Amino acid sequence: MTYPAGIPSYLQADQLGPWGIYLQQVDRVIPYLGHLARWSETLKRPKRILIVDVPIHMDDGSVAHFEGYRVQHSTTRGPGKGGVRFHQDVTLSEVMALSAWMSIKNAAVNVPYGGAKGGIRVDPKTLSPGELERITRRYTSEIGIIIGPTKDIPAPDVNTNEQIMAWMMDTYSMNEGSTATGVVTGKPLALGGSLGRRDATGRGVFTVGVEAARHLGLEIAGSRVAVQGFGNVGGVAARLFAQAGARVVAVQDHGGTIYRDTGLDVPALLAHVAMTGTVAGFAQAEVMPSDHFWEVTCDIMIPAALETQITEHNAGRIKARMVIEGANGPTTPAADDILQARNILVVPDVIANAGGVTVSYFEWVQDFSSFFWSEDEINARLVRIIKEAFTSVWEVAQDKKVSLRTATFIVACSRILHARELRGLYP
Ligand code: NAD
């Protein structure tokens, strides 16, 4: 990859990390962007990067400093939108890439947002509840100069939840002097949260799975499904596939891998996980060595746990007809090429897990109008948006003979750059 002279140093760093992977993905679509390619450099430079010092009083009386970030990759199509991650491995490169993938995701499903992401480099498990609240509030105050209901709307991500969103909303509101429920999404229902948000990502995974299966001529009823990660995304997706008559034959989580050839009893497994925290120890299943998970004969494989799970080391062994990426970034670029060569359809994360941000968008709309919708209305609107997005990406993939990932990037980048062209440059 070559960089023209004058590229800021932080954009050149870590070319093999997440930001480097994102840049490779953009480079792949530039030939398909036609006259909009003249604006493509816009996609390679985040609009705004804020690095903040987050000092807090610790319970033992000391003062600790943490590093926080908020990156607004694009606000061309609307305010920034994306989660906040609390993790000890958070880096600027990671937050930049995640913010860019949010721009792509939001444009792919055509919700009126740009892309943003934030994070604090901290292991929240080492903090007391009071320390967690103080770090959240100080971070929110620090990034308060660039967030807001019409500027940039954070949401939960890894290790952040409804309670943290409530503290963020309160802190921002106290600083502004008025209650601003629309500054974050993923809030508790009692503070302007939305019905259906908790199941939204898994429901989106299921919806694209049904659409993709239809195109492949695969019946969901009786199909075999393997799921990695049985949390918010994987657990809900497994439940919906099982309800539609699929056999969920293998499930893997941090505690173990289980298998049942005739299909696991998913409601019983969900109850077991709610009690014990893991799928391990579930009585009505065989135990499987973790690496064998990737060789399970199935129709649909759903990685819904962590990044970089499908690599050049296991992509050649996968025996599925399609992979639906519930997690963010579960497939490395090398594995992507192997799966494509083996004719295994990959439904990319930027469309497969976009159900969460779609219902976040509904939450924000409901907060603005102070009028709340029923869960049935929310689910019906979610399914419509995800189906429309999948159809437009599928048509581009067929037309240009490219993977669904490249097609999603073509659709999303074209939307972002078309908006950029219409807005023009100021001054
Ligand atoms: P979660 O914490 O609810 O569940 C994570 C699951 O992954 C758990 O079952 C856990 O046991 C499992 N897991 C952890 N380490 C593992 C390992 N080493 N091997 C196998 N399994 C492991 O998280 P979630 O909200 O379901 O998110 C899962 C993924 O989906 C993440 O990549 C997240 O960024 C992405 N995602 C989530 C949402 C959302 O709305 N929750 C939206 C978009 C993308």
Q: Which of 86, 306, 311, 386 to mutate to test the pocket of ligand 1 (most atoms within 8 A of CB)?
A: 306
**In 100-159, beta strands by DSSP E:** 115-121, 152-156
Residue 300 near residue 269, CB atoms below 8 Å: no
pLDDT in the model for residue 1 = 47
Find residue 117's DSSP bridge partners: 71
CA of 233 to the centre of ligand 1 (A): 6
pLDDT in the model for residue 21 = 85
* Measured CA distances, 334 to 226, 298, 312, 340, 397 (Å): 22, 22, 6, 10, 19
Look up 117 and say whether it is catalytic. Answer: yes
H or E, element range at 69:
strand 63-74
Cβ 306 under 6 angstroms from ligand 1: yes
- Rounded to an integer, what distance in angstroms lies between the CA atom of residue 377 and that of residue 393? 25
Structural domains for the chain: 45-178 (3.40.50.10860), 200-347 (3.40.50.720)
CA of 60 to the centre of ligand 1 (A): 33
pLDDT in the model for residue 15 = 58
Low-confidence residues of the chain: pLDDT under 50: 1, 13
The minimum-distance atom of ligand 1 relative to the CA of 255 is 11
- Rounded to an integer, what distance in angstroms lies between the CA atom of residue 85 and that of residue 158? 5
Cβ 231 under 6 angstroms from ligand 1: yes
Alpha carbons within 13 angstroms on the beta-carbon side of residue 236 total 19
Q: Which of 96, 67, 78 is nearest to 8 (CA)?
A: 96
Cβ 256 under 6 angstroms from ligand 1: no
State yes or no: cis peptide before 154, omega within 30 of 0. Answer: no
Percentages helix, strand, coil for the chain (3-state, rounded to 5) are: 50, 20, 35
Enumerate residues 6+ apart whose C-beta is below 8 A from 271: none
Cβ 156 under 6 angstroms from ligand 1: no
Atom 33 (ligand 1): residue with closest C-alpha?
Answer: 327
**Number of neighbours of residue 370 by Cβ within 10 angstroms:** 9
Cβ 185 under 6 angstroms from ligand 1: no
**In 254-299, beta strands by DSSP E:** 256-259, 286-287
pTM for the whole structure: 0.94
H or E, element range at 251:
strand 247-253
Cβ 328 under 6 angstroms from ligand 1: yes
CA of 75 to the centre of ligand 1 (A): 27
Cβ 230 under 6 angstroms from ligand 1: yes
List 81, 117, 187, 401, catalytic entry: 117
